[in-house]
């Protein structure tokens, strides 16, 4: 039996998180366009407190195509993220960076997940990031593909995903398996 890779996670690792469906409730066939529509998923604030103790960096990587569709502005997205981070910090967690792709999937040369560009941008901002010491957590196939394309470990939130390194029902379940 091979050793569990999670035992090697230390404070020089980076955690990439998808937003909708991992941190907050996803609006099916819609977009979170204001803070009033943003709802943390159960256990997320506690999970981020635990994860802040285990990872050097916690970076949100999120596709926000609603901007490209004209359903919201980047200012609205930034407001949601500012309030989200304030709430997370008030509960002992942290987010070190948020990278957003507002482009439409139909735009040529877009950098939406599964393209790994947001991971490489994070590496430019934080040169200490080693993709072999990163974990991507997401609830969609494109999140897992993003992690694979960037060379990270992958965690799927939800039912089984055979392409992910591991699957958990929620972010708090993943965080609890990493408690010191």
- Determine, yes or no, domain membership for 122: yes
Query: One of 4, 12, 20, 82 is an active-site residue; which one?
Result: 20
Q: What is the largest CA-CA distance in the chain?
A: 51
Total count of domains within the chain:
1
Q: How far apart are CA 32 and CA 23, in angstroms?
A: 12
CATH number at residue 129: 3.40.50.1000
180 residues of the chain, pLDDT tens digit each = 345 777 788 899 999 999 999 999 999 999 999 999 999 999 999 999 999 999 999 999 999 999 999 999 999 999 999 999 999 999 999 999 999 999 998 998 899 999 999 999 999 999 999 999 999 999 999 999 999 999 999 999 998 899 999 999 999 999 999 876
User: Nearest to residue 110, comparing CAs of 64, 78, 60?
Assistant: 64
* 171 belongs to a structural domain: yes
Domain that holds residue 106: 27-176
Does the active-site annotation cover 20?
Answer: yes
Residue at 16 is within a domain: no
54, part of any domain: yes
User: 103 and 62 in contact (C-beta within 8 Å)?
Assistant: no
Q: Which of 18, 115, 139, 143 is catalytic?
A: 18
The answer to whether residue 77 sits within a structural domain is yes
Q: Is residue 93 part of a domain?
A: yes
């Amino acid at each position: 039996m091979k050793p569990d890779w999670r035992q090697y996670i230390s404070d020089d690792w980076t955690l990439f998180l998808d937003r909708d469906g991992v941190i907050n409730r996803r609006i099916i066939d819609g977009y979170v366009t204001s803070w009033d529509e943003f709802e943390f998923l159960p256990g997320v604030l506690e999970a981020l407190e635990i994860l802040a103790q285990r990872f050097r960096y916690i970076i949100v990587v999120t596709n926000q195509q609603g901007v490209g569709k004209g359903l919201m502005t980047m200012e609205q997205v930034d407001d949601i993220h500012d309030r989200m981070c304030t709430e997370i910090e008030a509960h002992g967690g942290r987010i070190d960076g948020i990278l957003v792709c507002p482009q439409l999937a139909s735009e040529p040369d877009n950098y939406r997940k599964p393209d790994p560009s947001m991971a490489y941008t994070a590496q430019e901002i934080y040169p200490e990031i080693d993709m072999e010491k990163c974990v991507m957590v997401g609830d969609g196939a494109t999140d897992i593909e993003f992690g694979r394309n960037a060379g990270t470990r992958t965690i799927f939130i939800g039912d089984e995903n055979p392409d992910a390194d591991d699957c958990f029902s929620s972010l708090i379940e993943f965080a609890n398996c990493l408690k010191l």
